[in-house]
Structures are given as C-alpha cells and as structure tokens.
C-alpha cells in the first residue's frame, strides 16, 4: 500500500497556535484520511507564528524537506495584512509560494491546496480596532490568493465565510480569543481531506 506524504506551509493558522498539535488542521486532515483508509505519514510542517509570505519563502529555502510530496497545503498572508505590507508585494510572494508548492507536488497542480486567509477582525481580540477595514483588507488579500491559485490550476479552498460566522462563538476560539480552536480547524480539515480523498480514488 502506498504511503502518502503531505507538506503544510503557513503561519500560526497552520501550526495551530494555542491548541494541541493534533487539533491543528494538518493533523486533523491526516486523521480524517487515515479514518478513510488512506495510508499517510504525519504532516511535515513549515510554519511559524507571525510568518509573512517573505519569511515563509526564506524558511522553505533553509528547511530540510523531501524533494516531492503527494499533497501540499498553503495558508499564508494574515501577517502581511496585520503589518500593513503592500498587497502588490504579497501577490508576488504568494505567486512564488504557489509555484514552489507545485514543484513540491511534483508538478501536480491539483495536489496543491491554497486555503483562504481567516479574518481576525471578527474575533474578540480585534475589539476596539477598525474591524471593517481589517475585513475589507482580508477580502482583498483573499482575492489575490484565489486569483493566483486558479492561475496556476491549484485548488482554492474558501474557509473565511464560515470562520467569520463562528468567531463570536467561544467554542470556535482558542484561549487567546484570536486564533481558532480545534473545532474550527476541524471544519477546514474536513474540506481539505475531502479534496485530497477525491485525488486518491
């Protein structure tokens, strides 16, 4: 039986800041796939809280990774927005990351999954901040993510709309009132694992 491999690229949303590692969406995705009878190794993760697209690119260059993976996910950009970085620079960096992800996937565009950026402006953490501005900027960033992903025939997975609805519910938030809980991550994992399962059938 083939043992599949999965590389997850990102920031705090990928490592699952403030939740147990097995509650992060990459680990929950692997759990779902194993439940479905897919033999898959634990996810390899290149991600750190606070990473921008440029910092993720630099970390990938330094990381010791396999030459190829069966599946690659990418969720990045919130820290570009948070730090007020140029959206044009974000677009250039994100394009580099998508191309790198496709290379890791052995040229299989359909095995690269770009997840939309969650909206931290709807969380309790953002109280007192310009939440409408944050949400509008996140929308602009996500338009770039979707455009670039589809330009390279990768798969774009929209998770932001549901996350916005859930972010005022305590059970969907981590203790810091900013990051998602394992329950929110399980929604993302369900969408991702469904897409991956379709490739293995």
Q: What is the CATH number of the domain that holds 49?
A: 3.40.50.1110
Cβ neighbors of 31 (< 8 A, separation 6 or more) are: 22, 189
Chain segment 113-122, per-residue pLDDT in tens:
999 999 999 9
Query: 16 in a domain, yes or no?
Result: yes
The predicted pLDDT at position 168 comes to 82
Q: Report whether 192 contacts 157 (CB < 8 A).
A: yes
Cβ burial of 4 (10 Å; 0-12, 13-18, 19+) is: middle
Domain that holds residue 23: 6-200
Domain count, the chain: 1
Position 58 in a domain: yes
1 within domain boundaries: no
Is residue 149 a part of any domain in this protein?
Answer: yes
CA distance linking residue 105 with residue 73, whole number of Å: 10
pLDDT higher than threshold 90 for residue 74:
yes
Domain assignment of residue 175, yes or no: yes
Rounded to the nearest integer, the mean pLDDT of the chain is 97
The answer to whether the beta carbons of residues 33 and 199 sit under 8 Å apart is no
pLDDT given for residue 201 in this prediction? 79
Predicted TM-score of the model (pTM): 0.97
Percentage of the residues of the chain whose pLDDT score is greater than 70: 100
Angle between helical axes of 87-104 and 131-151 (0-180°, round to 10):
40
Is 162 part of any domain? yes
Taken as a whole, the chain contains a residue count of 201
């Amino acid at each position: 039986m083939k043992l599949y491999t999965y590389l997850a690229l990102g920031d705090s949303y990928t490592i699952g800041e403030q939740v147990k590692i097995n509650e992060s969406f990459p680990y929950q995705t692997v759990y779902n796939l194993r439940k479905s009878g897919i033999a898959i190794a634990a996810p390899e993760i290149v991600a750190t809280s606070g990473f921008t697209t440029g910092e993720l690119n630099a970390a990938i260059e330094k990381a010791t990774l396999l030459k190829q993976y069966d599946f690659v996910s990418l969720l990045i950009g919130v820290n570009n927005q948070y730090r007020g970085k140029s959206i044009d620079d974000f677009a250039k960096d994100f394009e580099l990351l998508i191309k790198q992800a496709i290379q890791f996937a052995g040229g299989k565009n359909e095995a690269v999954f770009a997840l939309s950026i969650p909206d931290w402006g709807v969380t309790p953490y953002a109280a007192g901040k310009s939440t409408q501005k944050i949400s509008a900027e996140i929308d602009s960033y996500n338009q770039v993510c979707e455009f670039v992903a589809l330009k390279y025939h990768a798969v774009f997975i929209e998770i932001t709309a549901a996350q916005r609805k859930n972010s005022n519910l305590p059970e969907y938030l981590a203790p810091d009132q900013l990051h998602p809980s394992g329950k929110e991550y399980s929604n993302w994992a369900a969408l991702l694992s469904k897409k991956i399962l379709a490739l293995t059938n």
